[in-house]
Amino acid sequence: MEFHKKDPIFLQIVEMICEKILTKIWVEGDKIPSVRELAVNIEVNPNTVMRSYTYLQEKGIIQNRRGIGYYVAEHAYDDTLELMKTNFIRNDLPLFFKTIKLLDIDFDELKGRFKKFKEGKQEDENQQ
Amino acid sequence: MEFHKKDPIFLQIVEMICEKILTKIWVEGDKIPSVRELAVNIEVNPNTVMRSYTYLQEKGIIQNRRGIGYYVAEHAYDDTLELMKTNFIRNDLPLFFKTIKLLDIDFDELKGRFKKFKEGKQEDENQQ
Amino acid sequence: MEFHKKDPIFLQIVEMICEKILTKIWVEGDKIPSVRELAVNIEVNPNTVMRSYTYLQEKGIIQNRRGIGYYVAEHAYDDTLELMKTNFIRNDLPLFFKTIKLLDIDFDELKGRFKKFKEGKQEDENQQ
Amino acid sequence: MEFHKKDPIFLQIVEMICEKILTKIWVEGDKIPSVRELAVNIEVNPNTVMRSYTYLQEKGIIQNRRGIGYYVAEHAYDDTLELMKTNFIRNDLPLFFKTIKLLDIDFDELKGRFKKFKEGKQEDENQQ
DNA sequence: GTGGTCTAGACCACC
DNA sequence: GTGGTCTAGACCACA
């Protein structure tokens, strides 16, 4: 897994997990990889993965069964969607709008790009 | 000037300057405030302002005339626009699209929000 | 480490690091000293070392692994050589030639001097 | 006149004057431009020119006749040559040698370049 | 432990 | 007056 340096790594892991849940790759009740296992897979310090899991547990998206492992919690899909949506609308969107306006970018042109993006990424979707 | 703590202050200063240039408040050849002057104005340490100026000079957006001060460089407007635009398209846009798709947000609804945003900010526009 | 005062210290540190890379004392993938460690070693403020590292990172010669430290980047040797060589040919050489011509210095005599220089420095070579 | 930012401007002016003397464009006894005149010509603060003249006067290369102006001093040619030569050999040459060695540049190839340089610049020589 | 940012204050060379 | 560099020391987030 590759990380950009804009956000902390543990948040990028969180996001990766949220994606799995939103795309129904992982559904409620599924066991997710152990801290160590994931750490090895994505070549990251176990502490960092631990931090991601703790974060997600606090948000109620995953649950720990002691000695067994972490599981996708009940209502995880809805909670994740809710969490990311409010986050997006509160934080990302205003900045996004500000930039579009400042750079004088045509919103309709963006729509075209978005369509292409959706189609172009179709095949990659189930990888990884 | 107020700073959020998501980005480092010196980058927020950079952005502030870029905005001045993009909105033509500062145009090519204009002298910009001296390091110390700006530092006092926005209540920040001169080192921090210095860092912003150095950064902008490396990008070719401002230029130093020795012993005199910093000036908005030639082609600063075009360079700034270019720089921010490619940056936006390469980095922000893909992430933005990815999130919209993942959260299944309606693009046309966004357009409505954007219109409101633009109008809502109308009155601030001519302040500085 | 001793510094002359013609150039800023942080650039002398940069040069020192480039030399280590060019002489293969440090090779691609090597971890270089942490900011604090080097700062103590060469008796300089950590900020100054930080500045050197940031500079080198921008040039793509070293890379940061978050929370771990700085490493000599891929192709660092080639990049460094390339960077210094073009720099030398574009900036130093013309000035050098201009001066030699102006002072009417014999080029072949210089060659002799250079040989002596090379031999005279021979014993220092393997120190660090 | 254009200045690079490696050296202070006043030293670049000094050098420019030395060149005029070494190329015999200005010879002993010649009146050189007044501080103000030169300052206007090369678009520089008069104080800066003044500093150059003072510097040269201290070195005995130009002389001030009060109320009249500055003149190229006796033995200016020899003194300039001497001054620049020792300067070159003491400061520039060792650095130059060090770099050539580090970058593993062939000295004989340099000689070829120098020849070309000499010829290529032939026609520019008497301008300015 | 690592880097990264910031403040405060000093000193210097240059214009 | 201007920028530029450096030190000292602090604080923070991240791995």
Per-residue flag: C50 CB under 7 A of strand E: yes
Distance D59 CA to E11 C1' (A): 28
Binned at pLDDT 50, 70 and 90, residue D122 comes out as: low
* Average pLDDT, integer, range B24-41: 96
**Chains A and C: how many Cβ contacts under 8 Å?**
4
Q: Tell me, what's the pLDDT at D128?
A: 44
**Listed range (A113-122, B64-73, B92-101, C91-100) with the worst mean pLDDT:** A113-122
Q: Tell me, what's the pLDDT at C123?
A: 56
The predicted-structure confidence for C33-56, as pLDDT tens digits, reads as follows 999 999 999 999 999 999 999 999
The predicted-structure confidence for A70-106, as pLDDT tens digits, reads as follows 999 999 999 999 989 998 998 889 989 999 999 999 9
Tell whether the model's pLDDT for residue C128 goes beyond 70. Answer: no
* Average pLDDT, integer, range D70-79: 94
Distance B9 CA to F8 C1' (A): 21
Contact A45, A8 (CB under 8 A): no
Q: Tell me, what's the pLDDT at D120?
A: 78
Backbone angles phi and psi of B100, in degrees to 5: -60, -45
Tell me the C-alpha distance between A51 and A54, whole Å: 5
For residues B87 and B63, membership in a common domain is answered with no
For residues B50 and B84, membership in a common domain is answered with no
Domain ranges, residue D39: 9-76
Residue of higher predicted confidence among C53 and A108: C53
The predicted-structure confidence for C54-64, as pLDDT tens digits, reads as follows 999 999 999 99
For residues D27 and D72, membership in a common domain is answered with yes
The C-alpha of A61 sits at a distance from chain B's nearest C-alpha, in angstroms, of 16
Contact B118, A101 (CB under 8 A): yes
Question: Does residue B94 lie in a domain region?
Answer: yes
For residues D17 and D71, membership in a common domain is answered with yes
For residues B86 and B114, membership in a common domain is answered with yes
Tell whether the model's pLDDT for residue A30 goes beyond 80. Answer: yes
Instruction: List chain E nucleotides near protein: any atom < 7 Å from a Cβ.
Output: 1-10, 13-15
Tell whether the model's pLDDT for residue C31 goes beyond 70. Answer: yes
Q: Tell me, what's the pLDDT at C29?
A: 95
For residues B28 and B70, membership in a common domain is answered with yes
Task: Chain B: list its partners (3+ Cβ pairs within 8 Å).
Answer: A, D
Q: Tell me, what's the pLDDT at A128?
A: 44
Give the closest residue to F14 (Cα–C1′).
C67
For residues B65 and B81, membership in a common domain is answered with no
- The answer to whether the CB atoms of B114 and A103 lie below 8 A apart is no
Token pair recorded at residue A127: 């990888």
Domain with C18 in it: what CATH number? 1.10.10.10
The predicted-structure confidence for A48-64, as pLDDT tens digits, reads as follows 999 999 999 999 999 99
Per-residue flag: C7 CB under 7 A of strand E: no
* Average pLDDT, integer, range D84-109: 90
Chains C and D touch (3+ CB pairs under 8 A): yes
Tell whether the model's pLDDT for residue A22 goes beyond 80. Answer: yes
Question: Does residue B22 lie in a domain region?
Answer: yes
Chains A and D touch (3+ CB pairs under 8 A): no
Domains in chain B: how many in total?
2
* Average pLDDT, integer, range A120-125: 61
* Average pLDDT, integer, range D7-36: 94
The predicted-structure confidence for D24-74, as pLDDT tens digits, reads as follows 999 999 999 999 999 999 999 999 999 999 999 999 999 999 889 999 999
Measured between CB atoms, which of C22, C100, C114 is closest to D102?
Answer: C22
Give the closest residue to F15 (Cα–C1′).
C67
* Average pLDDT, integer, range B9-25: 96
Q: Tell me, what's the pLDDT at D119?
A: 84
Q: Tell me, what's the pLDDT at B108?
A: 87
Q: Tell me, what's the pLDDT at C118?
A: 84
Per-residue flag: D21 CB under 7 A of strand E: no
Binned at pLDDT 50, 70 and 90, residue A69 comes out as: very high
> Which residues are CB-neighbours of C44 under 8 A, at least 6 positions away?
C1, C9, C13, C38
Question: Does residue B109 lie in a domain region?
Answer: yes
For residues D17 and D66, membership in a common domain is answered with yes
- The answer to whether the CB atoms of B113 and A97 lie below 8 A apart is yes
Instruction: List chain F nucleotides near protein: any atom < 7 Å from a Cβ.
Output: 1-10, 13-15
Task: Chain C: list its partners (3+ Cβ pairs within 8 Å).
Answer: A, D
Q: Is the pTM of this model over 0.85?
A: yes
Tell whether the model's pLDDT for residue C68 goes beyond 90. Answer: yes
Q: Is C24 part of the contact surface with chain A (CB cutoff 8 Å)?
A: no
Mean pLDDT over the full length of chain A: 90
Tell me the C-alpha distance between B42 and B13, whole Å: 9
Q: Tell me, what's the pLDDT at C1?
A: 87
- The answer to whether the CB atoms of C22 and D114 lie below 8 A apart is no
Question: Does residue D16 lie in a domain region?
Answer: yes
Please provide the DSSP assignment of chain B as one string: ----SSS-HHHHHHHHHHHHHHTTSS-TTPBPPPHHHHHHHTT--HHHHHHHHHHHHHTTSEEEETTTEEEEPTTHHHHHHHHHHHHIIIIIHHHHHHHHHHHT--HHHHHHHHHHHHHHTGGGTT--
Question: Does residue D52 lie in a domain region?
Answer: yes
For residues D24 and D71, membership in a common domain is answered with yes
Q: Tell me, what's the pLDDT at B91?
A: 86
Tell whether the model's pLDDT for residue A125 goes beyond 90. Answer: no
Per-residue flag: D22 CB under 7 A of strand E: no
Mean pLDDT over the full length of chain B: 91
How many CB atoms neighbour CB C31 within 10 A? 12
For residues D69 and D82, membership in a common domain is answered with no
Taking CA–CA distances from B68, the nearest residue in chain D reads D45
For residues B49 and B102, membership in a common domain is answered with no
The C-alpha of D60 sits at a distance from chain C's nearest C-alpha, in angstroms, of 19
For residues D103 and D92, membership in a common domain is answered with yes
Do β-strands C62-65 and D69-72 pair in parallel, antiparallel, or remain unpaired? Answer: unpaired
Provide the CA D66 distance to its chain's centre, in angstroms. Answer: 25
Question: Does residue D3 lie in a domain region?
Answer: no
Using DSSP's 3-state secondary structure scheme, residue D62 falls into strand
- The answer to whether the CB atoms of C111 and D114 lie below 8 A apart is no
Question: Does residue D64 lie in a domain region?
Answer: yes
Tell whether the model's pLDDT for residue B103 goes beyond 70. Answer: yes
